[in-house]
Chains A and B, each alone.
Chain A
């Protein structure tokens, strides 16, 4: 295999003609079919994918592939607009809504020759941390069906009962994480507002990158919180994430919040060196409810860095404990505002109620939104009332600044990267997860991830180890603004050290034919 510039090992295979884009596409499509029970996809774009693969094949035959992404099957979370393809946000609000345009990031992928295999499942309007609250049903974590998990968990019955204790994929980009984890695509787009890319990445054992706010265009991403949303990247290894980042980042005139500076795509060193770096361990991230397993893993990781010569110090981000409440105020306020456009007049579901405009609006919105969304809209509007604005919204903005300043101070004192857990525990079984409501779960699960969104910083989940129950656990690195190269270098080093195992899925084995062996070696390049 060719090393160097081609980070997707499968790209090498395509280039060398070991496999054609069409074959690759067909393999992924049939794997999607056989892993249908995961419910990772809302829409599978079989026809257009095969057409795109065909076009890619022509280019390869001419010896003129567009780049490393040419012919690579990718999936996109269903809150990104895709022209001519249904975009639902897993909501009745937008069921049947065919986007008339491509989100900028989708366009960029397509311009590079990537093959779009489908739109992935999520929590309705990206609100949630389990991918369990969408109208198309919950996403199942592929690891639920892995040999690793089945061996470790007490068997409920001797039959191949797929309905037994499956675990959640995390959220809200659970579908994208599950899609990447189960080999049905080589990279997927998610979104990250409070941890929605990193959380499912941790639960599904894949790399989940949240870039710096303003680095990647949000044009075409249906917003949750405009001031915190970013498109997220999910891949099976850090190098692949760097590659996708390189093809997506940069100023977009259609998004006024993207920075003007020209972005220089980078390559990560083959042998990353962390000996000159300073790693910070924020003590506040030892949050209540953090599992002892993850705590031990976190500690072990810190030791790994120490032995490699890095300076590892405990640091403090004192306002961490206020971030959840602060996030909830700002998030619900923006949600209330962003959802105001869904009135059924111009697009999407419209109620039959027609007594008056007001009653039509009210019925349409009640019918189209689930309870989670409606709850956030009501809260948000409450916080935005004139009498409450100062005490809630403005206060929360002030706290937000303090949180951002915490990071600023720590990075300013010489720390390069922060090391923290991504989640409090491994993925919970679905039946347990749904015992608490969405708001409670989100409050619990976002605690380690959403401060990075508040401060606009880049952060990445790297799969670290399997838990005692055979489920993935990841660790998070948080970097300085726009220092993705440094962040990913550290992440890559860590990835090489821990050698996270490949998922052993029956379905994947059946489809392997050596194709995914390439991916296996990519994980450990």
Chain B
């Protein structure tokens, strides 16, 4: 059987972290009472007009720069028409013709064969980033045959990031999205929490034989976590391969990921083959961005967005942070990945390092093996850890000063985990885990053991 080449592309919608919506002044807030954050414009009351939110533009520019994109100094807004209850105006304002940023790239790392020690860097091309409105939410109440519409989310700013089909499996897709998430969170342009709907991922999957053209692709939606993303993509790849090998065909359709069953199912033809009747948005002039060269002298800088100004103020991106950690602490690159991947773990690690004489190279083992595995076992975040960095540093100091053995240290750690407020020293004393340094004391103990086991000693001497 000829090998199959899976091809995976992603369309990611990231909710912009801003105080107000993309085109109106209503607040942006998660889980507010239904329809409490809806302005006249959001409700599509006739006669209202969109006014562009500056912060959203800056967020998109930041993100574009962080993803190595070219920022379009002139970009346009369009209307994308379709009828749905959560789209009050009957159209979404988006950027179809000329988006704000194009042609970027994202570097991410995957492990080979699940070994953390072998990481490979991959690149995925970023086709474009566009600004667009989020829709409201509709909840289907089947028992009463009605749909409830909440417009709080309608009009919130989104950045749609389109990743080219450069990925080949679920793991790569998840790793790429994870890296994007970290970048967005570092920039502050989006909080990118998938569980809160701030980061939504749709996967485009197809398979083909090497040397042949790309196969028909399906779109997979309803993916709510990185884990499910990997599962959904891998399932779909498998499904398509099986389908094609048994002589079937792949339909160009939209499928939903069912997390309970772990498979993809065809979606109710919500949009079908829609003609969105794109039309320029006549109420918004072209978005013009400036850089230091093109900025007119007498322009009020409150009125403009300066790309260079934003570039200068970009924080260290995750890749830079990781490199710095490796250099500063002498840890391995794969360690730096884990540190950044867990929210708050880098800070915890650095706090411990600052409070102990133990070398960072050794501390990292405690952080990644002991602390992290305990947290994972109990499904806790770093913030929820019952062992604080101060307490762990305390423990590590005892170990470093050779007051306890490393086995004893692990025992103490297990005790500390109970979170009963005892210090490491308390536990050491309680359980008599002190390492005995005194030579004479050690001799006495040995003598006592020998005296207590005379028969065994004779056996050993005679042998």
- Contact call A226/B282, Cβ cutoff below 8 A: yes
Cβ-neighbour of B283 out of A256, A333, A381 (below 8 A) = A256
| Best-buried of B43, B45, B149, B277 by chain A (most CB within 10 Å) | B277
- Contact call A257/B285, Cβ cutoff below 8 A: yes
| Best-buried of B47, B83, B90, B282 by chain A (most CB within 10 Å) | B47
- Contact call B40/A101, Cβ cutoff below 8 A: yes
Contacts of A340 in B (CB 8 A): 81, 83, 89-91
Knowing A256-B52, A337-B79, A343-B83, say if A226 contacts B279 (CB, 8 Å): no
Knowing A337-B91, A340-B81, say if A219 contacts B45 (CB, 8 Å): no
Knowing A226-B282, A385-B275, say if A81 contacts B51 (CB, 8 Å): no
- Contact call B83/A81, Cβ cutoff below 8 A: no
Least distance between A251 CB and chain B CB atoms (Å): 12
Knowing A227-B282, A384-B279, say if A256 contacts B47 (CB, 8 Å): no
Is the CB of A100 closer than 8 A to any CB of chain B? yes
- Contact call B88/A345, Cβ cutoff below 8 A: yes
Least distance between B257 CB and chain A CB atoms (Å): 24
The interface bits of chain B over 157-189 (1 if a CB of A lies within 8 angstroms of the residue's CB, else 0) are: 000000000000000000000000000000000
Is the CB of A349 closer than 8 A to any CB of chain B? no
- Contact call A257/B283, Cβ cutoff below 8 A: yes
Contacts of B88 in A (CB 8 A): 341, 343, 345-346
Is the CB of B68 closer than 8 A to any CB of chain A? no
Contacts of A415 in B (CB 8 A): none
Contacts of B284 in A (CB 8 A): 256
- Contact call A333/B279, Cβ cutoff below 8 A: yes
Is the CB of B278 closer than 8 A to any CB of chain A? yes
Contacts of A361 in B (CB 8 A): 83
| Best-buried of A99, A100, A346, A357 by chain B (most CB within 10 Å) | A346
Contacts of B277 in A (CB 8 A): 336-337, 381, 384-386, 389
Least distance between B95 CB and chain A CB atoms (Å): 15
Is the CB of A222 closer than 8 A to any CB of chain B? yes
Is the CB of B50 closer than 8 A to any CB of chain A? yes
Closest to A385 in B: B275
Contacts of A472 in B (CB 8 A): none
Is the CB of B85 closer than 8 A to any CB of chain A? yes
Is the CB of B147 closer than 8 A to any CB of chain A? yes
Is the CB of B49 closer than 8 A to any CB of chain A? yes
The interface bits of chain B over 31-56 (1 if a CB of A lies within 8 angstroms of the residue's CB, else 0) are: 00000000010011111111110000
Cβ-neighbour of A384 out of B81, B85, B89 (below 8 A) = B81
Closest to B274 in A: A386
Cβ-neighbour of B46 out of A255, A257, A341, A393 (below 8 A) = A341
Is the CB of A253 closer than 8 A to any CB of chain B? yes
- Contact call B147/A343, Cβ cutoff below 8 A: no
The interface bits of chain B over 79-98 (1 if a CB of A lies within 8 angstroms of the residue's CB, else 0) are: 10101110011110000000
Contacts of B40 in A (CB 8 A): 100-101
* Chain B residues numbered 1-59 whose CB sits less than 8 Å from any CB in chain A: 40, 43-52
* Chain A residues numbered 345-371 whose CB sits less than 8 Å from any CB in chain B: 345-347, 357-358, 361
Is the CB of A223 closer than 8 A to any CB of chain B? yes
The interface bits of chain A over 425-443 (1 if a CB of B lies within 8 angstroms of the residue's CB, else 0) are: 0000000000000000000
Contacts of A400 in B (CB 8 A): none
Contacts of A100 in B (CB 8 A): 40, 45
Closest to A252 in B: B49
* Chain A residues numbered 209-250 whose CB sits less than 8 Å from any CB in chain B: 218-223, 225-227
* CA–CA, A384 and B40, complex, Å: 27
Contacts of B81 in A (CB 8 A): 337, 340, 384
Least distance between B262 CB and chain A CB atoms (Å): 31
* Chain A residues numbered 327-345 whose CB sits less than 8 Å from any CB in chain B: 333-334, 336-337, 339-343, 345
* CA–CA, A228 and B440, complex, Å: 100
- Contact call A334/B282, Cβ cutoff below 8 A: yes
- Contact call A341/B89, Cβ cutoff below 8 A: yes
Least distance between A379 CB and chain B CB atoms (Å): 12
Least distance between B8 CB and chain A CB atoms (Å): 27
Is the CB of A509 closer than 8 A to any CB of chain B? no
- Contact call B49/A255, Cβ cutoff below 8 A: yes
- Contact call B43/A346, Cβ cutoff below 8 A: yes
Closest to B90 in A: A340
Least distance between B25 CB and chain A CB atoms (Å): 10
* CA–CA, A389 and B410, complex, Å: 71
Is the CB of A103 closer than 8 A to any CB of chain B? yes
Contacts of A343 in B (CB 8 A): 83, 88, 90
- Contact call B89/A218, Cβ cutoff below 8 A: no
- Contact call B149/A389, Cβ cutoff below 8 A: no
Least distance between A134 CB and chain B CB atoms (Å): 16
- Contact call A386/B43, Cβ cutoff below 8 A: no
Contacts of B47 in A (CB 8 A): 80-81, 99, 103, 219-223
26 pairs, CB–CB < 8 Å, chain A vs chain B: A81-B47, A89-B46, A100-B45, A101-B40, A220-B47, A221-B47, A222-B47, A256-B49, A256-B283, A257-B49, A257-B282, A257-B283, A333-B279, A334-B279, A337-B79, A337-B90, A341-B90, A343-B90, A346-B44, A347-B43, A347-B45, A357-B147, A361-B83, A384-B81, A384-B277, A393-B279
User: Other CB < 8 Å A-B pairs besides A337-B277, A342-B46, A386-B277, 12 of them?
Assistant: A101-B40, A101-B45, A223-B47, A225-B282, A226-B283, A227-B282, A254-B51, A256-B50, A256-B284, A340-B91, A346-B88, A385-B275
4 A-B pairs with the lowest CB-CB distances in the bound complex, closest first: A340-B90, A384-B277, A226-B282, A227-B282
